[in-house]
Amino acid sequence: MTLRFALPLAVAGSLTALLCLPADGRAQGYRGEVRVGTNYLDMRPLVRDSLPDEDVEGGGLRRRLADGTTVTCVQGDYCRWYRADELESVFATTQDVLATGWTTVQGLSGRVHLRGRYGSDQFWPLSTQKFEVVSAYVDYDRGDYRARVGRVFRTDGLGYYNFDGGSFLWRRWSPLWVEVYGGWSLPRGLNVPRSGDLVSRADPLAPDDRGFLFGAEVGGRLGRVLSGRLSYQRDIRTDRLAIYSERLALDARAIFDRTVVELSSEYDWSFEQFNELRLRLNTPIAAGFELVAEGLHQSPFFELWTIWGAFSPVGFNEGRVSVAWAHPRLGLRVEGGGAYRDYEETNAGPASSTVRDDGWRAFANANWQQAAWFASGGYRAEAGFGAARFGGDLRAGRYFGEIGYLSVRGSITQTFGEFRLNEQIVSGVGLDGGIDVGDFTISGGAGFYRIGVEERPADGDWTQARVYSSLSYRFGVEPGVRGVTAASGADR
């Protein structure tokens, strides 16, 4: 076993052994949670079908088959469309173990998050990855500084990700702080090396060498008025023959009385472009009323090893405005707003193309709660490149003290012009609930969705079932809270 695999497994094994020590040797405390979740749903995968162009009556790009199915045709070639395949029933099951342990050494602790997928159908993504270490690291925190080593999980202006290595945080110069980190990088969401088989099975041109990640972050706070952080990150091949990515992120917030201004940005140094640039304003405008205005520029991000970045994907600019009204005594909050999006020029395709390069959306929602009862509802309308969608949902229920809840929900959505689905109407009802029993939490729900199709009549309408369940068990005690279990509130 190479060092790159041994590191997270060794740390995970050491932390697990620590939690299994007798009470006298276990240190100051420990806490953890075991979760088991199962999802069941009916699926009808889409498959591509075709007929020779000369076998379909009519002319032009869009035509209809004898049964009414809408198809896309290329003169002298084929007419193609997507149809629903046979019904499949799918189970997806996950098992998670999360644990934290504190030692007798002041500031020294360990954390581990393990995940299994035993019982999942092979059809479900990542079902072949039966076991993974999401995070497993030793933490040494002494106030002025903090050091971590293992499979470290980070959250910063560049997103959520983990890596095999270490980090060091220095906060002696309050209100400023500095952090540096580095180690073997992992594809986001996969918890395996970039050169592993999960990536190569999805992309025939996958990297043949994993990456080394290193970065730094500087942050600070000026009273209650101004705060922010600047992050830099570079990911290169371990043989140093090429670079996978180089990025920069800036996040800042300013608070003036009750007005909040936020700026966030992500800059791709390799392509010399912003992947995200966002400015957001949140301010009260009258008694009970609040205004939120946001400007956003966003472009797709691709690492340099993948070919997709060579196609020069374009971004979009969007403006969004919403107004909310809240009445605490009534337990009511109502919000409504809209947004307009404009896509950048592709410099591709015929100049006479009728494909739209803009889009809009509008929304309204309301939330209400009085004592143990609650209800919420919303409506959404969206039209843009590739599709249009209109629909809403309702939910109502009741809390039963602190031990559980029960709710019912309903929804209806209609889509138009979607490249693969064309026109559909999906309506559904469902039931959700949860209950705490001692150290256990049991939750689950079920829903049934009627799917009606308009432009693929051969598929026929059908009803999809979705069922989920979850069981979690909390255990342990925290330092200085002897005899109190985590389920009793020690971890809250």
286 and 160 part of one domain: yes
List CB contacts of 358: < 8 A, sequence separation 6 or more. Answer: 340, 341, 342, 343, 384, 385
Instruction: Please tell me which residue, 13 or 289, carries the higher pLDDT value.
Output: 289
277 and 339 part of one domain: no
H helix or E strand, kind and range, residue 233: strand 226-237
Whether 269 is in a domain gets the answer yes
pLDDT recorded at residue 491: 35
Tokens representing residue 453 in the block = 């199709």
Whether the pLDDT of residue 100 is over 60: the answer is yes
Give tens-digit pLDDT for 44-76: 888 999 999 999 988 888 888 888 888 889 988
Whether 318 is in a domain gets the answer yes
Closest alpha carbon to 28 in 109, 99, 98, 97: 109
Work out how many domains the chain is built from and give that number. Answer: 2
Instruction: Please tell me which residue, 437 or 455, carries the higher pLDDT value.
Output: 437
| pLDDT band, very low/low/confident/very high, at 483 (cuts 50, 70, 90) | very low
pLDDT recorded at residue 60: 84
The whole-angstrom separation of Cα 150 and Cα 167 is: 9
Whether the pLDDT of residue 243 is over 60: the answer is yes
CA distances from 227 to 160, 178, 252, 254 (A): 20, 14, 6, 7
The whole-angstrom separation of Cα 287 and Cα 258 is: 12
Cβ(335)–Cβ(326) below 8 Å: no
pLDDT recorded at residue 417: 74
153 and 300 part of one domain: yes
Report, in angstroms and rounded to the nearest whole number, the Rg of the chain calculated over CA atoms.
26
Whether 225 is in a domain gets the answer yes
| pLDDT band, very low/low/confident/very high, at 1 (cuts 50, 70, 90) | very low
Give tens-digit pLDDT for 270-322: 899 999 999 999 999 998 999 999 999 999 999 999 888 878 788 999 999 99
Closest alpha carbon to 37 in 445, 436, 439, 405: 445
pLDDT recorded at residue 17: 52
Nearest 5 degrees, angle CA 92-CA 466-CA 437? 75
Helices (H), 220-374: none
215 and 294 part of one domain: yes
CB-neighbour burial class of residue 224 (10 A; exposed 0-12, middle 13-18, buried 19+): exposed
Mean pLDDT along residues 13-28 = 51
Whether the pLDDT of residue 18 is over 60: the answer is no
DSSP-derived secondary structure letter, 311: G
Mean pLDDT along residues 165-176 = 93
Whether the pLDDT of residue 82 is over 50: the answer is yes
Q: What is the extent of the structural domain holding 258?
A: 142-305
pLDDT recorded at residue 490: 33
245 and 321 part of one domain: no
Q: Mean pLDDT score of the chain, rounded to an integer?
A: 88
Mean pLDDT along residues 188-214 = 85
List CB contacts of 268: < 8 A, sequence separation 6 or more. Answer: 245, 246, 247, 274, 275, 301
Whether 80 is in a domain gets the answer no
Torsion angles phi and psi, residue 15, rounded to 5: -65, -40
| Lowest pLDDT segment from 104-113, 126-135, 156-165, 476-485 | 476-485
Cβ(132)–Cβ(189) below 8 Å: no
Instruction: Please tell me which residue, 466 or 485, carries the higher pLDDT value.
Output: 466
End-of-domain residue from the set 305, 337, 370: 305
Whether the pLDDT of residue 21 is over 80: the answer is no
What is the percentage of the chain residues whose pLDDT exceeds 70?
89
Whether 5 is in a domain gets the answer no
Closest alpha carbon to 169 in 181, 153, 154: 181
End-of-domain residue from the set 385, 407, 426: 385
293 and 156 part of one domain: yes
Mean pLDDT along residues 99-121 = 92
Whether the pLDDT of residue 447 is over 50: the answer is yes
Helix, strand, coil % over all residues of the chain, rounded to 5: 5, 60, 30
Whether the pLDDT of residue 193 is over 80: the answer is yes
Whether 264 is in a domain gets the answer yes
Whether the pLDDT of residue 5 is over 80: the answer is no
Whether 119 is in a domain gets the answer no
> Biggest alpha carbon distance in the chain?
83
Whether 409 is in a domain gets the answer no
HSE-CB of 172 using CA atoms within 13 angstroms: 4
298 and 152 part of one domain: yes
The whole-angstrom separation of Cα 168 and Cα 154 is: 12
229 and 260 part of one domain: yes
346 and 250 part of one domain: no
265 and 196 part of one domain: yes
Give tens-digit pLDDT for 362-407: 999 999 999 999 999 999 999 987 789 999 999 999 999 989 999 9
What is the percentage of the chain residues whose pLDDT exceeds 90?
62
324 and 237 part of one domain: no
Q: How far is CA 47 from the centre of its chain?
A: 27
348 and 380 part of one domain: yes
